[in-house]
Chains A and B, each alone.
Chain A
Amino acid sequence: MTATGTMTAIKTETMIEVRDLRKEFTVRRKVGRIRRESRTVAAVDGVALSIARGETVGYIGPNGAGKSTTLKMMTGILTPTSGHVRVCGLEPVPRRRRLAGRIGVVFGQRSQLWWDLPLRESFRLLGFVYAVPRAEHEARLRQCRAMLELDEFMDTPVRQLSLGQRMRGEITAALLHGPDVLFLDEPTIGLDVVSKQSLRAFLAEIGTRGDVTTVLTTHDLADIEHLCRRLIVIDCGQVVHDGTLEALHARYGSRRRVVVDLDEARALDVRMPGVAIEAIEADGRRVTFALDGVPAGELIATIARDGGLRDVSVREPTIEEVVARLYRG
């Protein structure tokens, strides 16, 4: 096979394949004194998705939407009620231990490190647990140490690390065996702004340079904006959107905004289709327009023609806005 042929083969390789995935839980409720009523609730209700090698996919949804349940089924710690799941070509639950060697998992609220031992020791042990050849292990560790700046706390027991330091350790731990797929469940939860940024920068680097496939669940939509070209939104156990962020905006009619500051208050006579005044502030000297498919330049030119324009800013639609609408809808 030619080099190009191999490249194409890698590019199109499917790492995660999910069809008609369903998980039901039985919820028992007390009715009356003794009688109990049990009811079946579908936490995941017919999810289908396919993720290719090297993709970084954001998997989001409101609390209780079924995100973690899907992730648990993909990592092999929860059996689906019905449906088809393959990760790295393996059926997760029956092949859990085999699959464990090919995936890396970070649950933001849990730890896979040895609590009482220095971080360095946890990494060394993971090398043995995953039977990673020493040279590979060292190469990856060296890279993580440099990129995540681990050196200052490599000898600190894990229980004494700050949350941000520990999280950097967790991500390293998940990568040392060179996983094909990385599952990150809320990796930035509880982190301060600086820690979040450095973690994102690292994950972005992994995303662009390696061929690690990443599935990221988060409530921090900035994570998604920085890291994920593709976004899967789940609600009530079903996929409600699967595509790029732009597609999401287009589909839910997100609007850009133009904010103009005027020298003095005056009535702006803008009669353009697709432009609406959304707010008037500062005694009429600041006006916010919402644009629906109209280029901002046209609107600004129209306003500028009448003079008295002090300042203009264009605001892109925020992902929060779309997602909030999506969750409520």
Chain B
Amino acid sequence: MTFAFARPLRVDHPPDRRARLYRFGALVGAGFRRWSTYRQAALAGLFTNTVFGVMIYSLMRALTEDGRRPGGYDAAQLATYVWVGQGILSVVHAWTWNELADRVRSGDVTADLLRPIDPFEAFLAADLGRAAYAVLARMLVPVLAGALMFTMYIPQRPYTIPLFVLSLILGTVLSFTLRYLVNLGAFWLLDARGLGAVWLLASGVFAGTFFPLRFLPDWAQVVLWFGTPFPGLFQIPLDVVVERPGPAQQIGSVVLQLVWVAILVPLVLRVQRAATDKLVIQGG
């Protein structure tokens, strides 16, 4: 038997594009499987989403009495907004996420640095896998429940569903990028929980999780849309699916998400670079 550890078998070339794509795909799959091991948690979450859907929609529906259109939504659009919103809550996952910060604190992050892959890329892939699992386990059921209990708005434009899928992926990437940025704070701060609280508040209020941002005065909307990435997390995917704006604005808002991704990803990579340098120079 030849000994498999002998030198001629060594790999010594950086992976090509195809290998990198396979690698990303494999890591997405791993993220999916990892979360699928927590079935009970998914079930409990599902129940919560459905109950909250009923509560929130009952409140919102009161606003549409006498044919009023709060924020320009009719009753059916609001139903879709609320139920799809409950469904994508855990897909986008704009909540607490401490995995990287915990690994920094425990020192396990060195294992991430000792791999031939950018940690941001590896964590992003895992998060997309988590989101894919959340679509199956946490999104479909609340949307179906809403559709059974209330009259929901069904998208009319043929491209709306694919555009929504793209917008949801971009929303997840934005959410992940911001979570990752907050976690990178752990390289400098002993306790990144303060930063986490600010993020939690911002993502809740400014992303459209608590209420549609279109309920806000116009100036506030302009500031949020163009000055912050937060509407890209929830408001934009949900507006896309309920077809609240016209086609041009609908597509334009997804482009806006893309712009935010293009701004934030390089920023996060730079901060990560600074964080690693700090770790590598001071030794943790």
Q: Which residues of A contact B (CB under 8 A)?
A: 10, 23, 25, 69, 72, 75-79, 93, 96-98, 100-103, 105, 107, 110-112, 114, 116-117, 121, 124-125, 128-133, 136, 139-140, 142-143, 157, 175, 177-180, 206, 209-212
Task: Determine the chain A residues whose CB is within 8 A of the CB of B37 once the complex forms.
Answer: 116-117, 157
Determine whether B222 belongs to the interface, using a CB cutoff of 8 Å to chain A: no
Complex Cα gap A175–B9 (Å) = 12
Task: Determine the chain A residues whose CB is within 8 A of the CB of B116 once the complex forms.
Answer: 97-98, 100-101, 129-131
Task: Determine the chain A residues whose CB is within 8 A of the CB of B15 once the complex forms.
Answer: 131
CB distance from B254 to the nearest CB of A (A): 30
Task: Determine the chain A residues whose CB is within 8 A of the CB of B107 once the complex forms.
Answer: 110
Complex Cα gap A34–B3 (Å) = 63
Complex Cα gap A17–B127 (Å) = 40
Partner of A209, one of B3, B108, B281: B3
Task: Determine the chain A residues whose CB is within 8 A of the CB of B283 once the complex forms.
Answer: 23, 25, 69, 72, 78
Given A79-B280, A206-B5, are A129 and B117 neighbors across the interface (CB < 8 Å)?
yes
What are 22 A-to-B residue pairs whose CB atoms are below 8 Å? A77-B114, A78-B280, A97-B117, A97-B118, A98-B14, A100-B116, A101-B12, A101-B116, A112-B111, A114-B30, A128-B22, A129-B115, A130-B115, A130-B116, A143-B3, A143-B4, A175-B5, A177-B11, A178-B4, A180-B10, A209-B5, A211-B5
CB distance from A91 to the nearest CB of B (A): 13
Given A131-B19, A140-B5, are A75 and B114 neighbors across the interface (CB < 8 Å)?
yes
Task: Determine the chain B residues whose CB is within 8 A of the CB of A136 once the complex forms.
Answer: 4, 9, 11
Task: Determine the chain A residues whose CB is within 8 A of the CB of B9 once the complex forms.
Answer: 136, 139-140, 178
Contact with A along B264-284 (1 / 0, CB 8 A): 000000000000000111110
Complex Cα gap A78–B282 (Å) = 8
Q: Are A117 and B12 within 8 A (Cβ)?
A: no
CB distance from A110 to the nearest CB of B (A): 6
Of all chain B residues, the one with the shortest Cβ separation from A75 is: B114
Q: For the side of the interface on B, what is the size category? A: 35 or more
Across chains A and B, the number of contacting residue pairs, with CB separation under 8 Å, is: 126
Given A25-B283, A125-B26, are A139 and B10 neighbors across the interface (CB < 8 Å)?
no
Task: Determine the chain A residues whose CB is within 8 A of the CB of B4 once the complex forms.
Answer: 136, 139-140, 142-143, 178
Contact with A along B240-255 (1 / 0, CB 8 A): 0000000000000000
Given A10-B7, A139-B9, A178-B9, are A121 and B280 neighbors across the interface (CB < 8 Å)?
no
CB distance from A264 to the nearest CB of B (A): 58
Complex Cα gap A112–B3 (Å) = 24
Q: Are B6 and A211 within 8 A (Cβ)?
A: yes
Task: Determine the chain A residues whose CB is within 8 A of the CB of B34 once the complex forms.
Answer: 114, 116-117
CB distance from A219 to the nearest CB of B (A): 19
Of all chain B residues, the one with the shortest Cβ separation from A175 is: B5
Complex Cα gap A210–B8 (Å) = 11
CB distance from B185 to the nearest CB of A (A): 20
Q: Are A111 and B108 within 8 A (Cβ)?
A: yes
Determine whether B23 belongs to the interface, using a CB cutoff of 8 Å to chain A: yes
Q: Are B11 and A107 within 8 A (Cβ)?
A: no
Q: Are B111 and A132 within 8 A (Cβ)?
A: no
Q: Are A132 and B11 within 8 A (Cβ)?
A: yes
Q: Are B114 and A178 within 8 A (Cβ)?
A: no
Contact with A along B180-224 (1 / 0, CB 8 A): 000000000000000000000000000000000000000000000
Of all chain B residues, the one with the shortest Cβ separation from A210 is: B5
